[in-house]
Chain A
Amino acid sequence: MFRALRYSLQAAIALLFVALIGYFSDSPPYIYHDARMALVKLSFSHASQRAVECRRRSAEELAQLAPNMRIAMDCPRQRVVARVELYLDEKLLFAGDMPPGGIAGDGAGSVYQRFVVLPGRYLVTARLRDSARSEGFDYENSKLVELRSRQNFVVDFRAETGGFQFF
């Protein structure tokens, strides 16, 4: 083959190679999120209350236990399955159970959920039942927010500060 032709083909292949690399290194763009929408993220970890209240063992019960196991209080480690609900105004966005973590079911449970919502003004309400009660909630917090498009609105929870937090 003619030298000139060979060299031009070499150059063409080399340019194709770098064009391929240059292009696919940042294009075509990936649309992860609709830029007109907002995002609500509900995420927290929390250790719910124990499923069974601690209880003082009777003298009889204590006597039946091996001497090294005779502890006055009987505290089963199992925690309850917590219940979470999240509302935008009256609309239920999420309702779910949050089982305790750990092999013995004695650890913190977690929730991590994302919701794409239309921007606008909402009353965001979050509720958590983390005790053995069968009705009602132990925590309930609300906040009136104006969600912007592409906003990452976070609903977190911290029992020490009185419950749900909105960011």
Chain B
Amino acid sequence: MTGTRTPRRWLDRLEGGFDLIFTPRHNPLNQLGALGWFFYWIVLVTGIYLYIFFDTGLRDAYESLERITHVQWFAGGVMRSLHRYASDALVLVMVVHVMREWVLGRFRGARWFAWVSGVPLLWFVYASGISGYWMVWDQLAQYIAIATTEWLDALPFFGEPIARNFLRDGTLSGRFFTLMVFIHIGVPLFLMFLMWVHIQRHMSPRVNPPRGLAVGILLVLVLLSLIKPALSQAPADLGVVPAVIGFDWFYLPAYPLLEKISGLSLWGILVFGSLFMLCFPWIGRIRRQPVAVVDLDNCNGCGRCVQDCPFSALTLEPRQDGLPFSHQVEVKSALCMSCGICAGACPTATPFRRSKALTPGIDMPHRPLQEILGQSVAATAVLTGEDRVLVYLCDAGPKLADVIADSGVAVVCLPCVAMLPPPFMDYLLSRDHVDGIFLAGCRQGDCHFRLGLEWTEQRIARERDPMLRRRVQRERIGHAWVGCAHDVQLQAQLADFRAGLPHRRGEPPAKGVAPESSEPVTEDAGHV
């Protein structure tokens, strides 16, 4: 999917290790975006608290922060430290989040929107943090004020250099300071709006980390705040040049460059860097697969596919074709990632139907369900033994189709395991095509199509439509969510699953038990 194979393997190893330590659900690397939101909320709440006790004004600002830090160290002091450290943590998780999405190639196709809307987030996060340090009006603030205004003066926008505002204490006006307070409140609020835009195209976006992880992280941040409270440096004095400055390297890494290259060059690097980043989704080899297609004759407008599409690519619209249903589904092709999860959700995607061909309400033109069913039946026809297993392998998951060489195992690939409608499993098991079905997908907690594993588990657990029928023995369905680099692990889990399969002997054949089971469509399509 990307040209970043090696980093991808490293990332997979690292995440595998974190899965063992934290469990997949609490693995922070699966929660970077959600952690970004979490840190944002901490910064917002602590910021409101600080603002209550903060005095605007050149001398008052510094003094009020000293009071907050030292007089009420147990409350305001901790709040101030949390405000600083959560802001730093936001930068850290954001940078790792960007690198991760890049390594995993999750900026291509319809995902361009999240990527492109992410780039301005970088600017707004930095602007928020830098303007925050300004408010303290200590030596660091003095340096930032002078360096930033000198840097802005490199642009041909200002008649008189704005750095002149910070020439000496006599020229410094409190009004400029009020402007900074305004910026430090306005920019982060606008950031929140942009963060909201950023996740607009995601169905149930992950914006809250699991409680255990959130509590744990909050605790260690509080611990850090108590051990190393955030402090001001010496108060600003424009008559004295700040020499050795305590420096926040999360927010200010670009500033030292201003002593090496011209301000205009630094603007150039950052602006062109951002523009280049904006182009990422359209650079390089792009293979766009066909998008989902609706077959209105078979769609009853139930909306299950709409609820399951992870990329909000489906909408329910008023019925247009005269059939007696209130709604029909429509595909917004620009948003579709071709995962097939919608086909797996459709109640009409069942092999137990009277009609001749398997024609679901929604399907993937490049991998129609009819073809998948045909392949499944054909592949299982040659299996022998008491523990015949059909493995459904997701394209983004482990690569092992050629590793498995066993007369009892067949493999069929799918774009995502969640494309498999639960009635397929019922059908293959109840018609004795196989003894077990094994689903192999992405690493748990990190489905390439976001929600595929979750929906699959819920359908099998009979918590989500379309549910697996009760008559299917749960022990006959296994899974390994291990990701692309773990074929050994997958084989081990598959072996365990096969060893645990219950014996069939003496079981009544399911045929005739199921009320709706008439002639299955693919009994004659078995040759496909």
Q: Is the CB of B160 within 8 A of A108?
A: yes
Measured CB to CB, the closest approach of chain B to A105, in angstroms, equals: 13
User: When A24-B250, A110-B161 are in contact, do A31 and B85 touch as well, CB less than 8 Å?
Assistant: no
Chain A positions within 8 Å of B22 at CB level: 6, 10
Interface readout for A1-42 with B: 1 if CB under 8 Å, 0 if not?
100001001100111011011101111111111110011010
Q: A77 in the interface, Cβ–Cβ < 8 Å?
A: no
Q: Is the CB of A154 within 8 A of B220?
A: no
Q: B405 in the interface, Cβ–Cβ < 8 Å?
A: no
User: When A22-B85, A152-B239 are in contact, do A167 and B247 touch as well, CB less than 8 Å?
Assistant: no
Q: B164 in the interface, Cβ–Cβ < 8 Å?
A: yes
Q: Is the CB of A18 within 8 A of B250?
A: no
User: When A29-B247, A112-B163 are in contact, do A13 and B92 touch as well, CB less than 8 Å?
Assistant: no
Instruction: Identify which of residues 194-250 in chain B touch chain A, using a CB-to-CB cut-off of 8 Å.
Output: 216-217, 220-221, 223-224, 227-228, 230, 238-250
User: When A14-B216, A14-B217, A21-B89 are in contact, do A26 and B246 touch as well, CB less than 8 Å?
Assistant: yes
Q: Which of A34, A35, A167 has the most CB of B within 10 A?
A: A167
Q: A45 in the interface, Cβ–Cβ < 8 Å?
A: yes
Q: Is the CB of B244 within 8 A of A29?
A: yes
Q: Which of A26, A28, A108 has the most CB of B within 10 A?
A: A26
Q: Is the CB of A43 within 8 A of B224?
A: no
Cβ contact of A24, chosen from B160, B249, B256, cutoff 8 A: B249
Chain A positions within 8 Å of B115 at CB level: none
Q: A163 in the interface, Cβ–Cβ < 8 Å?
A: no
Q: B386 in the interface, Cβ–Cβ < 8 Å?
A: no
Chain A positions within 8 Å of B284 at CB level: none
- Interface size of B as a range: 35 or more
Q: B395 in the interface, Cβ–Cβ < 8 Å?
A: no
Cβ contact of B245, chosen from A1, A25, A30, cutoff 8 A: A30
CA distance A127 to B348 in the complex (A): 89
Binding site secondary structure of chain B: helix
In this complex, how many residues of chain A approach chain B with their Cβ under 8 Å: the count is 42
Q: Is the CB of A18 within 8 A of B223?
A: yes
Interface readout for A149-162 with B: 1 if CB under 8 Å, 0 if not?
01110101000000
Q: Is the CB of A25 within 8 A of B250?
A: yes
CA distance A41 to B266 in the complex (A): 22
Q: B63 in the interface, Cβ–Cβ < 8 Å?
A: no
CA distance A70 to B21 in the complex (A): 87
User: When A25-B85, A45-B164, A112-B164 are in contact, do A150 and B250 touch as well, CB less than 8 Å?
Assistant: no
Chain B positions within 8 Å of A39 at CB level: 241
Measured CB to CB, the closest approach of chain B to A104, in angstroms, equals: 13
Chain B positions within 8 Å of A38 at CB level: 241
CA distance A130 to B240 in the complex (A): 31
CA distance A24 to B87 in the complex (A): 12
Q: Is the CB of A20 within 8 A of B167?
A: no
Chain B positions within 8 Å of A156 at CB level: 167
Instruction: Identify which of residues 1-60 in chain B touch chain A, using a CB-to-CB cut-off of 8 Å.
Output: 18, 20-22
Measured CB to CB, the closest approach of chain A to B378, in angstroms, equals: 41
Chain B positions within 8 Å of A1 at CB level: 20-21
Q: Is the CB of B216 within 8 A of A101?
A: no
Q: Is the CB of B170 within 8 A of A167?
A: yes
Q: Is the CB of B240 within 8 A of A151?
A: yes
Q: Is the CB of A18 within 8 A of B221?
A: yes
Instruction: Identify which of residues 82-132 in chain A touch chain B, using a CB-to-CB cut-off of 8 Å.
Output: 101-102, 107-108, 110, 112
CA distance A21 to B223 in the complex (A): 12
Q: Which of B159, B255, B256 has the most CB of A within 10 A?
A: B159
Chain B positions within 8 Å of A29 at CB level: 244-247
CA distance A13 to B170 in the complex (A): 49
Q: Is the CB of A151 within 8 A of B241?
A: yes
Q: Is the CB of B241 within 8 A of A33?
A: yes
User: When A13-B21, A33-B241 are in contact, do A18 and B168 touch as well, CB less than 8 Å?
Assistant: no
Q: Is the CB of B161 within 8 A of A150?
A: no
User: When A108-B160, A110-B161 are in contact, do A41 and B248 touch as well, CB less than 8 Å?
Assistant: no
Q: Is the CB of B238 within 8 A of A21?
A: no
Q: Is the CB of A27 within 8 A of B246?
A: yes
CA distance A29 to B216 in the complex (A): 30
Chain A positions within 8 Å of B164 at CB level: 43-45, 112
Measured CB to CB, the closest approach of chain A to B193, in angstroms, equals: 26
Chain B positions within 8 Å of A150 at CB level: 240-241, 243
Q: B432 in the interface, Cβ–Cβ < 8 Å?
A: no
CA distance A43 to B146 in the complex (A): 13
Chain A positions within 8 Å of B66 at CB level: none
Instruction: Identify which of residues 46-84 in chain A touch chain B, using a CB-to-CB cut-off of 8 Å.
Output: none
Q: Is the CB of A26 within 8 A of B247?
A: yes
CA distance A24 to B256 in the complex (A): 15
Chain B positions within 8 Å of A18 at CB level: 85, 220-221, 223-224
Q: B84 in the interface, Cβ–Cβ < 8 Å?
A: yes
Q: Is the CB of A152 within 8 A of B21?
A: no
Measured CB to CB, the closest approach of chain A to B376, in angstroms, equals: 36
Chain B positions within 8 Å of A10 at CB level: 21-22, 216
User: When A18-B223, A21-B92, A154-B168 are in contact, do A32 and B20 touch as well, CB less than 8 Å?
Assistant: no
Measured CB to CB, the closest approach of chain B to A167, in angstroms, equals: 5
Interface readout for B67-105 with A: 1 if CB under 8 Å, 0 if not?
000000000000000001100110010000000000000
A-B pairs, top 6 by smallest CB distance, nearest first, are A35-B243, A26-B246, A30-B247, A18-B224, A45-B160, A24-B249
26 of the cross-chain contacts (CB-CB < 8 Å) are A10-B21, A13-B18, A14-B220, A17-B89, A20-B92, A22-B227, A22-B228, A25-B85, A26-B246, A28-B247, A29-B247, A30-B244, A30-B245, A30-B252, A33-B241, A38-B241, A43-B163, A45-B159, A45-B161, A45-B164, A110-B159, A112-B150, A150-B240, A151-B240, A152-B240, A154-B167
List A residues at the B interface (Cβ < 8 Å): 1, 6, 9-10, 13-15, 17-18, 20-22, 24-35, 38-39, 41, 43-45, 101-102, 107-108, 110, 112, 150-152, 154, 156, 167
Beyond A26-B248, A45-B160, list 14 extra A-B contacts (CB 8 Å). Answer: A1-B20, A6-B20, A18-B221, A21-B88, A21-B224, A25-B249, A31-B243, A32-B147, A33-B241, A43-B161, A154-B167, A156-B167, A167-B167, A167-B170
